[in-house]
Amino acid sequence: MTLETVDPWFSRVSGPAGPARLFCFPHAGGNPADFLAWAGPLAPDVELLLPNLPGRGTRLFEPPIGELGPLVEQLTGAVSRLADRPFALFGHSFGALVAFEIARALRRAGGPAPVALWVSGAEGPQLRSQRRRVHDMPDDELIDVLREYAGTSAELLEHRELVELILPGVRADFAMNERYTYRPEPPLALPIHVLHASDDPHVVTDPVAGWTRETTYPPHVTMFPGGHFFLREHEAAVAALLRAGLTAVDPRNPYQDQPARAFWRTGVAEPDPLDITDVWRPKFAMGQDDPIITAGSCFAREIGRALLERGMHWYVAELPPPGLSAAERADRHYGEFSFRTGNIYTTALLRQWVEWAFGKAEPPASSWEHDGRHFDPYRPSVDPAGFASLDDLLAARQTTLAAIRRAVETAACFVFTMGLTEVWADRADGTVFPSCPGTIRGTFDPDRHVLRNLTFFEVYEDLAATVELCRAVNPGLRVLLTVSPHPITATATGSHALVASTHTKAVLRAVAGELAAQRGDVDYFPSYELITGAPFRSRFYQANLRTVGPEGVAFVMRHFLGPTSVSSTADGGDLSCDDAVLDYYNAH
């Protein structure tokens, strides 16, 4: 059996080219040639490709790459060049990490996608246990570790001259494995097949749980008897699995048995718009007594009101002090959300409030002063008269942070409505504001205040981090995401308002969908689609084509809580929307 180089980074077994390709990546310090035993069982349907890495094999005398990022970049480019037919990625142990990062890099680059990712003898990248540091051990100690791991030929390890030739590559592999840092991204839209052993001392955390987080598909799991290098004992069975996975054809048409709701004509175009049903199938139930907390953009105010009218337990953690009239309570934004932050339009601001509440970051002890009064930069409209002193402001802020803690620790469900991607940030300390300084309060400083239009990955990272932090203090918490159907009031990006609003909502909707698809404890409710969808022809908007009227609010809440939920006379108007003030600056 001979190998031929098809790219500087890959070789294939000589012979007829197969209709599918399998790229295989070995464990740290491993020899790709270990996979050659699969070539026969995979042929002629699957072509085996093995990596040519610097410091190993035919590239033995090249300096090895010791950083995973540059290695993945090179391998991703090579995989792209060789992706002229269906292909899959396979990795064992450290090789699973390499294969996983190649799959993510292909997606980021908009490149060809593998039909599947196969991971073997590896913990999920988010849940990896502590790595033993071996890459910088003295040679003799490192060789002893290789003997202990039993992944390198014992005969080879007896030849010191040969071992010294391979040690630089071995060290590079272990260094990449030990230094790996997981970066949150949406799960891969491809199947992940998890192979693991019954008695693997190097896989401490549950590999199924870890890898399930990284795919939108149900996990495919196969367990084999044996230890970390079980592949050697089960070569034929593993090869058969791989061949079946790459050559299987499902004869069923997946649309054949779909219900009417799955088709545009019968689900959307033909019914009366107000009779469209079964739009949302909740992942989890909300019981009558379950504490539910709410936060988000101005449309989110309707959620709490609707919960109360239905007799459900909307938990308000920050109550007004005694003696305030109804008008004063409304003026100070009590009872809009579960805590008195005011509108939280962006995921960056939500993460900031939650991290402040749980001590992950320290809020600046600062205020905006006007006419001798102090206003909170992070909720400038919440106390319209301001505070007499900075100390009073900071004390009030601490009250709200304590309310956030109580709310998160108590809640069974957190409903968060996302509104914007445009956020103004402070260059000096990195904090973000709910509105542009100088619009509601404060003074705009072009040298200090900068606009950030959050990307999909930034919104996803902020939201995922917030969910993780909340669930760390309340493991039973579930999160329900919505996207506000209110268009933006104005944009500072330079785009037309229509284009900017569409971009904003598309990013938020995509993030909500991805996170809900990834996690069983996160769901998405389609309030945005129920107002803006084509069959409704803007019927729920008022004359400004921005404010949702009472009919629209009731329609959304009927889908949210059921047909007997709400007969609202309220609208989703601009009364408490901080960003609505931007229209004041419209000179037209």
Q: Is 413 within 8 Å of 286 (Cβ atoms)?
A: yes
Q: With contact defined as beta carbons under 8 Å apart, do 319 and 560 qualify?
A: no
Which residue from 432, 415, 423 is spatially nearest to 522, judged by alpha carbons? 415
Query: Residue 468 corresponds to which tokens in the numbers above?
Result: 């993780």
CA distance 69 to 77: 12
Q: What is the pLDDT of residue 564?
A: 33
Q: 572 — phi, psi (to 5°)?
A: -90, 45
User: Which two three-digit tokens encode residue 363?
Assistant: 């809020």
Q: Residue 569: is its pLDDT beyond 60?
A: no
pLDDT in tens, 391-401: 999 999 999 99
β-pairing, 20-25 vs 46-51, is: parallel
pLDDT of residue 362 exceeding 90, the answer is yes
* pLDDT recorded at residue 458: 97
- Please tell me the predicted confidence (pLDDT) of residue 254: 62
User: Which tens digit of pLDDT belongs to each residue from 418-448?
Assistant: 999 999 999 999 999 999 999 999 999 999 9
* Helix residue spans in 150-251 (DSSP H): 154-157, 160-179, 207-212, 230-233, 235-247
Within 8 A by CB and 6+ apart from 506, the residues are none
Catalytic residue IDs: 93
Quick: pLDDT tens for 133-164: 776 667 667 666 666 666 565 666 566 667 67
The string of pLDDT tens digits covering residues 337-354 is: 999 999 999 999 999 999
pLDDT mean over 119-146: 76
pLDDT band (50, 70, 90) for residue 544: very high
Token pair for 512: 């909500």
Contacts of 457 (CB under 8 A, 6+ apart): 185
pLDDT over 90 (residue 372): yes
Residue 201, pLDDT score: 83
Helix, strand, or coil here: 296? strand
3-class DSSP state for residue 33? helix
Q: Of 240-249, 352-361, 435-444, where does mean pLDDT reach its minimum?
A: 240-249
CATH of 3-248, one of 2.40.50.140, 3.40.50.1820, 3.40.30.10, 3.90.79.10: 3.40.50.1820
Phi and psi of 561, rounded to 5°? -115, 0
The rounded mean pLDDT for the chain is: 88
Residue 252: what pLDDT? 44
- Rounded to whole angstroms, the Cα distance separating 91 from 100 reads 8
| pLDDT given for residue 309 in this prediction | 86
Mean pLDDT value across residues 198-222: 86
Interatomic CA distance for residues 51 and 56, integer angstroms: 10
Question: CA-CA distance, 586 to 588, in Å (whole number)?
Answer: 5
The string of pLDDT tens digits covering residues 463-520 is: 999 999 999 999 999 999 999 999 999 999 999 999 999 999 999 999 999 999 988 8
5 CB-near residues (< 8 Å, 6+ apart): 11, 52, 58
* Residue 157, pLDDT score: 56
96-102's contacts with Cβ under 8 Å and 24+ in sequence apart are 96/25, 96/120, 96/121, 96/122, 97/68, 97/122, 97/125, 97/177, 97/180, 98/25, 98/68, 98/71, 98/72, 99/23, 99/25, 100/125, 100/214, 101/68, 101/72, 102/23, 102/72, 102/75, 102/76
What does the pLDDT read at residue 147? 67
Beta bridge partners of 296: 417
Alpha-carbon distance of 383 to 374, in angstroms, equals 10
Residue 214's pLDDT is: 92
Beta partners for residue 415, in sequence order: 294, 480
SS3 533: coil
For the ranges 234-248, 270-284, 472-486, the lowest mean pLDDT is seen at 234-248
* Whole-number Å distance between alpha carbons of 282 and 260: 19
Query: Model confidence at 126, in pLDDT bands (50, 70, 90)?
Result: confident
Cis previous bond, 44, omega within 30: yes
What type of residue is 552? G
| DSSP secondary structure letter of residue 387 | B
The model's pTM: 0.59
State the pairing for strand pair 422-426/449-453.
Answer: antiparallel
pLDDT value, residue 563: 39
In percent, the amount of the chain with pLDDT more than 70 equals 88
Domain regions of the chain by residue span? 3-248, 262-276+290-565+573-587
Longest alpha-carbon distance in the chain:
88
